């Protein structure tokens, strides 16, 4: 973009530079002047932006207001970001924006879009190389960058993805990991917050930059990182459709560790938010919840099993556990060749006392018609291996009012006194 903006002749002496032909610095250098604005100069972005806006002013009478607004308000230097809920209108804005910019010598290319209407309207050479391969050869479209934010174009999702280290030993390493997590939209804020809280504690304890962490801090680090090699959070880019009335609700709280602000956008038209959850969605949510519960209770054990080290917990040793491809701790044993579902041969290990475990037991108990603990326990084992599971099932069922009614003994009619024999 900068090379499309010429430097006035009177200012070109400020952009002089020396040039040694063929890199031979023993000769006298030639002196050149740049005729266009260069990359790296502090003035270049503002000058190029002015030239782009000046193009709009000069040609204002030939274009609709939507096109002019797009150029004036949706450019970040040479990147144009535009969203719209009407594909036909968006396609026209994209086409006319390209025409307007070309009048100022700015030729827009490398288009990336999730809109089929724009794909059918724009010439192939206007698109990003990966987009052209995707359109012409049906190849896989890799995630694109939108102002350094990852974008799954096909799914229309924004996401952040971080690689996680196996261990963090010092304050310097911890700060480096936190600073490397680029997340301007805060998708991974709940995860990053815990790392910052640990960093806060290291400063409170007065640890030096390269001083090894205490045992307590090492445990917190292992629990924070968990067994995962990376963390990934994705969010649908299109959250709501156009609505006549929207409300913004803000909630905030603070503690000695930090503060949090959560914003909710509420539509008075409830239909804007209706989304049917599929069975696959529910299964995925259940699996991720179980994985999170494991990381909270058995984070250290998952790392030890992954590294093929001997476990210290007797309750897990006898299960011969292993870590699957999803970093989930499962029961080992001798059923790997059995003609059973994988989840039945190698159930996911869960702790005895956790709210998620209680929810799974209650769900099974309800689905089997509030039957007794033996049957509920057998159904639970088809998917989960709860440590001290029989005891956990009896504990949860004892709180079920419906089951207590069903198992109550039948009332016996009290017989009246025998008649007098006299």
Who's near 248: CB < 8 A, 6+ residues apart?
263, 264, 265, 266
- The whole-angstrom distance between residue 1's C-alpha and the CA centroid of its chain comes to 32
- Give the model confidence (pLDDT) of 157-177 as tens digits: 899 998 989 889 999 999 999
Three-state DSSP string of 352-376? CCCHHHHHHHHHHHHHCCCCCHHHH
pLDDT digits (tens, 9 = 90+) for 185-206: 888 998 999 999 999 999 999 9
pLDDT at 271 over 60: no
Furthest CA-CA distance within the chain: 145
Domain 280-407 has CATH 1.10.340.70: yes
- pLDDT tens digits, 113-122: 888 778 888 8
Q: Is the predicted pLDDT of residue 270 greater than 60, yes or no?
A: no
Mean pLDDT of 11-36: 93
Range among 139-153, 244-258, 290-304 with highest mean pLDDT value? 290-304
- Decide if 367 contacts 333 (C-beta within 8 A): no
Instruction: Determine which of 102-106, 205-209, 293-297, 418-422 has the lowest per-residue pLDDT on average.
Output: 418-422
At 300 the pLDDT is 84
DSSP 8-state class, residue 114:
S
pLDDT band at 235 (very low <50, low <70, confident <90, very high): confident
| CA–CA gap between residue 170 and residue 53 (Å, rounded) | 50
Instruction: Say whether pTM exceeds 0.95.
Output: no
Check whether 356 has a pLDDT greater than 90: yes
The confidence score (pLDDT) of residue 243 equals 58
Collapse the DSSP code of 158 into the 3-class scheme (helix H, G, I; strand E, B; otherwise coil) and give the result. Answer: strand
Check residues 185 and 421 and name the one with the higher pLDDT: 185
Task: Identify which of 40, 34, 32, 100 has the alpha carbon closest to the alpha carbon of residue 64.
Answer: 100
pLDDT class for 74, splitting at 50, 70, 90? very high
- pLDDT above 60: residue 77: yes
Confidence grade of residue 137 (pLDDT, cut at 50, 70, 90): low
Nearest to 383 by CA among 318, 331, 325: 331
Where does the pLDDT of residue 399 fall: very low under 50, low under 70, confident under 90, or very high at 90 and above? Answer: very high
Q: What is the pLDDT of residues 365-391, one digit of tens each?
A: 999 999 999 999 999 999 999 999 999
What integer is the mean pLDDT of 399-407? 88
* Secondary structure (DSSP) of 29-94: PEEEE-SB--TT-TTHHHHHHHHHHHHHHHTGGGS-HHHHHHHHHSEETTEE----S-HHHHHHHH
Phi, psi at 60, each rounded to 5°: -60, -35
Scan for tokens 């804005």, then name that residue.
93
Burial of residue 117, with CB atoms counted within 10 A of its CB: 0-12 exposed, 13-18 middle, 19 or more buried: middle
Instruction: List the domain boundaries for the chain.
Output: 1-108, 159-270, 280-407
Region 319-332: what's the mean pLDDT?
Answer: 90
d(CA 6, CA 221): 54
34, 12 contact by CB (below 8 A): yes
Looking at residue 274, what is its pLDDT? 53
């Amino acid at each position: 973009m900068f090379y499309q903006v010429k430097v006035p002749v009177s200012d070109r002496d400020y952009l002089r530079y020396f040039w040694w032909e063929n890199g031979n610095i023993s000769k006298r250098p030639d002196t050149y002047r740049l005729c266009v604005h260069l990359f790296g100069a502090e003035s270049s972005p503002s000058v190029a932006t002015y030239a782009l806006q000046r193009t709009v002013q000069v040609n204002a009478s030939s274009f609709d207001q939507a096109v002019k607004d797009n150029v004036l308000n949706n450019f970040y230097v040479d990147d144009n970001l535009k969203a719209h809920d009407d594909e036909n209108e968006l396609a026209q804005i994209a086409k006319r924006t390209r025409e307007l910019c070309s009048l100022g010598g700015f030729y827009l290319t490398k288009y990336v879009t999730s809109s089929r209407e724009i794909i059918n309207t724009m010439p192939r050479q206007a698109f990003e190389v990966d987009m052209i391969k995707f359109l012409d050869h049906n190849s896989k479209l890799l995630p694109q960058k939108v102002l350094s934010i990852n974008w799954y174009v096909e799914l229309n999702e924004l996401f952040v993805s971080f690689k996680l280290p196996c261990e963090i030993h010092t304050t310097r390493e911890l700060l480096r990991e936190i600073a490397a997590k680029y997340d301007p939209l805060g998708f991974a804020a709940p995860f990053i917050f815990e790392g910052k809280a640990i960093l806060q504690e290291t400063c409170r304890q007065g640890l030096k930059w390269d001083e090894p962490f205490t045992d307590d801090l090492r445990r917190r680090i292992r629990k924070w990182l968990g067994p995962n090699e990376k963390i990934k959070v994705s969010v649908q880019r299109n959250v709501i459709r156009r609505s006549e009335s929207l409300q913004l609700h803000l909630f905030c709280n603070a503690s000695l560790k930090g503060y949090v602000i959560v914003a909710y956008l509420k539509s008075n038209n409830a239909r804007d938010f209706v989304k049917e959850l599929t069975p696959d969605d529910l299964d995925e949510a259940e699996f991720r919840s179980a994985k999170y519960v494991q990381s909270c209770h058995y984070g250290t054990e998952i790392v030890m099993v992954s590294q093929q080290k001997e476990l210290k917990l007797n309750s897990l040793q006898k299960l011969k556990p292993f870590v699957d491809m999803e970093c989930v701790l499962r029961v080992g044993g001798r059923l790997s060749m059995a003609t059973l579902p994988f989840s039945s041969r190698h159930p996911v290990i869960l702790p005895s006392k956790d709210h998620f475990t209680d929810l799974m037991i209650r769900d099974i108990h309800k689905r089997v018609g509030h039957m007794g603990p033996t049957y509920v326990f057998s159904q639970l084992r088809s998917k989960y291996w709860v440590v001290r599971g029989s005891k956990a099932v009896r504990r949860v069922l004892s709180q079920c009012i419906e089951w207590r009614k069903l198992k109550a003994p039948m009332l016996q009619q009290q017989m009246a006194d025998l008649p007098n024999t006299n």
